[in-house]
Amino acid sequence: MVTAAVSTENLTKIYTLDLLKGRKRVVALDGLNLTIGEGHVMGVLGPNGAGKSTTIKLLLNLITPTSGKARLFGLDPSDAEARRNVGYLPENPSPYEYLTGEEFVRFAGSLSGLRGAELTARVRTVLEQVQMDRFTGVQIRRYSKGMTQRIALAQALVSSPRLLILDEPTSGLDVLGRQLIRDIILAEKKKGTSVLLCSHIIPDVEALAEDVAILIGGKLVRSGPVSEMLSDEGSRVELTFEGVDAQRLSPLNPEVIQDGRRLIVRTAAASSRALIEAAHQAEGRLISMQPIRNSLEDAFLEALRNSQNKVGSTIE
């Protein structure tokens, strides 16, 4: 039997707030069922307060669930052994600022049980991987945000984890930093590392993840392979013509946009042949034809609209 890297079963977290007006219940996560297979990359999308960070905290035993179960490689996260194969990069990481980058990564490695020559070799490798090997002797408090993010990623990678949990790994980074982190995630994916990627940057999730889960208001509203979410409108095409009068195509009733001398036409794939023939008879020229694909952002916005644009946790 293959054990999933991550699995949750009706995972729920409810906080109670004692306010002047009385006690309130904040449902941060509501019955989450999620599975990440070994070697898979799952992106988790959601607006602020959707439950993304709560999910991560539950998986890392930083908070305890109100009900339901979470498992890391089949073990309860409260079992320290369950976390041995996990590398974690928190959002806006804040490492020990008076340690140097190398000392911090070495410290993280030692906590995962690495010792001696093996630890030294792993520290050197990951520092080179995140391109921080030139700044190893500098205290972290002197690092820029991007450098701190890279060192925090290095500490997540040092123990060669089988599961990487990354919370907003590219936030606040410049183009080069983002590209580097994306390359590292792709390299880890190639090695067979499972990745749970929470990000607000949807193109990153689209480029890196195989599966995606959309959380809104603490609930999982949609999940599945990224390719499925992108192909929802796969039966429609976009055609670009030159030298055609829009009126000559109107009997076929397509969606038309006039762009200078060019005519952009969107229609069902089945109607495309008739449109091309009509344009040809009108002595027009077909410039391009491509399928219309939904972006992940479209899928996310649609899910958000379906949830009445709900932002934040549910307060009862």
Partner 1 sequence: MNGVVSIALNGFREARRNRVTSVLFVFAFIMVFSTTVSVEFTVATFDRVMTDFGLGVIGLLSPALTLFLGTALIPREIERRTIFMVVARPVSRSAFLVGRYIGNVITVAFLVLVMGALFLLQMQFAGATSTYSSGIHREHLIALYGLLLEVVLLTAVSFLFAAASSQYVSALSVTCLYFIGHMSEDLYTLAGRSKSDVIRVVGRAIYYLLPNFDRLDFKARATYFDPTSNAELLSTTGYALAYTVLVLIVATRIFERRDFK
How many other CB atoms are there within 10 angstroms of residue 213's CB atom?
24
Name the minimum Å distance from CB 165 to partner 1.
8
Which of 4, 14, 99, 282 binds partner 1 (CB under 8 A)? It is 99
Which of 63, 230, 276, 286 binds partner 1 (CB under 8 A)? It is 63
Q: Does residue number 301 form part of the binding site for partner 1 (CB under 8 A)?
A: no
Residue 19 parent element (H or E): strand 6-19
- Number of residues engaging partner 1 in binding (CB under 8 A): 34
Name the minimum Å distance from CB 115 to partner 1.
8
Beta bridge partners of 166: 89, 197
Site for partner 1 in 251-280 (CB under 8 A): none
Name the minimum Å distance from CB 108 to partner 1.
7
Distance CA 194, CA 125 (A): 20
CB nearer to partner 1: give 140 or 205: 140
Q: Which residue has the tokens 């490689």?
A: 73
Nearest in space to 75 (alpha carbons), one of 11, 166, 10, 3? 3
Q: Which pairs from 122-127 meet CB under 8 Å and 24+ separation? A: 122/158, 122/159, 122/160, 123/158, 126/154, 126/155, 126/157, 126/158, 127/101, 127/102, 127/154
Distance CA 153, CA 136 (A): 14
**Where does this chain touch partner 1 (CB under 8 A) — which range of 112-120, 185-193, 203-211, 268-276?**
112-120
Q: Does residue number 135 form part of the binding site for partner 1 (CB under 8 A)?
A: no
Sign of CA dihedral 76, 80, 85, 89: positive
Which of 3, 33, 111, 269 binds partner 1 (CB under 8 A)? It is 111
**Where does this chain touch partner 1 (CB under 8 A) — which range of 110-118, 171-179, 246-254, 255-263?**
110-118
Q: Does residue number 195 form part of the binding site for partner 1 (CB under 8 A)?
A: no
Which of 139, 223, 240, 314 binds partner 1 (CB under 8 A)? It is 139
Start-to-end CA span in the chain (Å): 41
Q: Does residue number 76 form part of the binding site for partner 1 (CB under 8 A)?
A: no
- How far from 177 is each of 43, 246, 309, CA to CA, in Å? 19, 46, 32
Distance CA 57, CA 32 (A): 13
Distance CA 223, CA 219 (A): 11
Q: Does residue number 313 form part of the binding site for partner 1 (CB under 8 A)?
A: no
Name the minimum Å distance from CB 149 to partner 1.
12
How many other CB atoms are there within 10 angstroms of residue 110's CB atom?
14
CB nearer to partner 1: give 79 or 277: 79
Q: Does residue number 113 form part of the binding site for partner 1 (CB under 8 A)?
A: yes
Name the minimum Å distance from CB 96 to partner 1.
5
What is the number of H-type helices and E-type strands within the chain?
Answer: 10, 14
Site for partner 1 in 165-184 (CB under 8 A): 165
Do the strands 262-268 and 236-242 form a parallel or antiparallel pair, or are they unpaired?
antiparallel
**Where does this chain touch partner 1 (CB under 8 A) — which range of 3-11, 55-63, 191-199, 214-222?**
55-63
Which of 80, 117, 134, 260 binds partner 1 (CB under 8 A)? It is 80
Residue 28 parent element (H or E): strand 22-36
Q: Does residue number 294 form part of the binding site for partner 1 (CB under 8 A)?
A: no
Which of 35, 61, 136, 307 binds partner 1 (CB under 8 A)? It is 61
The footprint of partner 1 (CB under 8 A) covers: 15, 57, 60-64, 80-81, 83-84, 86, 88, 90, 92-96, 98-99, 103, 107-108, 110-113, 115, 139, 152, 155, 159, 165
